[in-house]
């Protein structure tokens, strides 16, 4: 049998397409070098059991607890901002997860109410009116005077849901 050669014009057309396909497909490959974890710092403190701890060593240093108290405030508002940013960018499921996180649920009342409002909006926008209603109900249980801004009342998705929740709470 005689080997059949492809015409040069066909080869010049298919070769760039094949090369492009190979380059694009290689982007899907996983490279182990990018999955490596940073080496542990030798100065990182080792966990010490209660038995190993000397009797004059305090269980928890007071300085660390003060640092945590100072750090708690900004993290709560950062979490709320992050959740609202996700909502604004259209990542509604991500916003629901972030706004339902423990740091926001244990935060100040205003933070919790705002998180619940955007959670309700996210549920309504993703066609989950029952969960939207539950988020509004929870906000109204936390603060019976909770209300939407004037521009938010007339929204076709969450406006009617909020109205029903508000009527049920009164």
Across the range 19-26, mean pLDDT stands at: 51
The pLDDT of residue 122 is above 60: yes
* Cα separation, 103 vs 76, whole angstroms: 6
pLDDT in tens, 74-92: 444 789 999 999 999 999 9
The enclosing domain of 89 has a CATH number of 1.25.40.10
Predicted pLDDT at 104: 86
The number of distinct structural domains making up the chain is 1
**Which pLDDT value is given to residue 65?**
43
What pTM value is reported for the model? Answer: 0.56
- 123 domain residue, yes or no: yes
Closest to 149 (Cα-Cα) out of 114, 106, 107: 114
In a domain, 140, yes or no: yes
* Model pLDDT, residue 156: 92
pLDDT at residue 125, rounded to an integer: 95
Q: Supply the range of the domain harboring residue 146.
A: 76-170
């Amino acid at each position: 049998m005689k080997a059949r050669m492809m015409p040069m014009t066909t080869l010049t057309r298919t070769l760039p397409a094949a090369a492009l396909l190979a380059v694009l497909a290689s982007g899907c490959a996983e490279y182990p070098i990018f999955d490596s974890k940073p080496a542990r710092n030798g100065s990182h403190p080792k966990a010490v059991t209660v038995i190993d701890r000397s009797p004059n060593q305090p269980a928890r240093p007071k300085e660390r607890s003060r640092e945590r108290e100072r750090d708690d405030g900004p993290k709560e508002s950062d979490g709320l901002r992050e959740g609202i940013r996700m909502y604004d960018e259209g990542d509604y499921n991500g916003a629901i997860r972030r706004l339902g996180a423990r740091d926001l649920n244990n935060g100040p009342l205003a933070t919790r109410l705002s998180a619940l409002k955007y959670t309700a909006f996210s549920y309504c926008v993703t066609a989950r009116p029952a969960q939207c209603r539950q988020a509004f109900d929870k906000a109204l249980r936390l603060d019976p005077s909770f209300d939407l801004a004037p521009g938010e009342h007339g929204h076709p998705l969450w406006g009617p849901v909020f109205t029903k929740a508000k009527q049920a709470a009164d």
